[in-house]
C-alpha cells in the first residue's frame, strides 16, 4: 500500500515523519501515523468518560427537578 492509497492526513503524517528523518521506511511511518490517530481518538474518549464519572459523582443525591421555569436547582 503506497502513500496515495491513504487519507490526506495520514499521507501528510507519513511524509512529515520521513522528511524530518524520524522514520525513513514507509511501513514504520505508516504504523506510527495510524497509532497516533488511534491514540488521540481514544484519549479524548477516555477524558470524556472520566469527566462524566466525576460529574455523576458530584450530582448524586441532588434534586434535579426544576419547577416553575426557574433556572435554580
pLDDT digits (tens, 9 = 90+) for 28-56: 887 888 888 889 889 999 999 999 999 99
How does residue 6 score in pLDDT terms, banded at 50, 70 and 90?
Answer: low
3-state secondary structure (DSSP) of residue 13:
helix
Calpha distance 35→39 (Å, rounded): 6
Contact in structure between 13 and 33 (CB atoms under 8 Å): yes
- Per the domain annotation, does 73 fall within a domain? no
Q: How high is the pLDDT of residue 2?
A: 54
**pLDDT exceeding 70 applies to what percent of the chain?**
77
Grid cell at residue 65: 427537578
- Per the domain annotation, does 19 fall within a domain? yes
The domain tally of the chain equals 1
Q: How high is the pLDDT of residue 65?
A: 55
Q: Residues, the chain, total?
A: 73
- Per the domain annotation, does 31 fall within a domain? yes
- Per the domain annotation, does 69 fall within a domain? no
Q: Which residue pairs, CB below 8 angstroms and at least 24 apart, start in 43-52?
A: none
Amino acid at each position: 500500500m503506497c502513500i496515495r492509497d491513504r487519507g490526506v492526513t495520514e499521507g501528510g503524517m507519513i511524509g512529515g515523519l520521513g522528511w524530518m528523518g524520524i522514520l525513513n521506511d514507509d511501513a514504520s511511518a505508516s504504523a506510527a501515523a495510524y497509532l497516533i490517530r488511534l491514540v488521540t481518538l481514544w484519549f479524548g474518549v477516555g477524558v470524556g468518560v472520566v469527566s462524566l464519572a466525576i460529574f455523576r459523582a458530584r450530582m448524586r443525591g441532588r434534586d434535579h427537578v426544576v419547577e416553575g421555569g426557574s433556572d435554580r436547582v
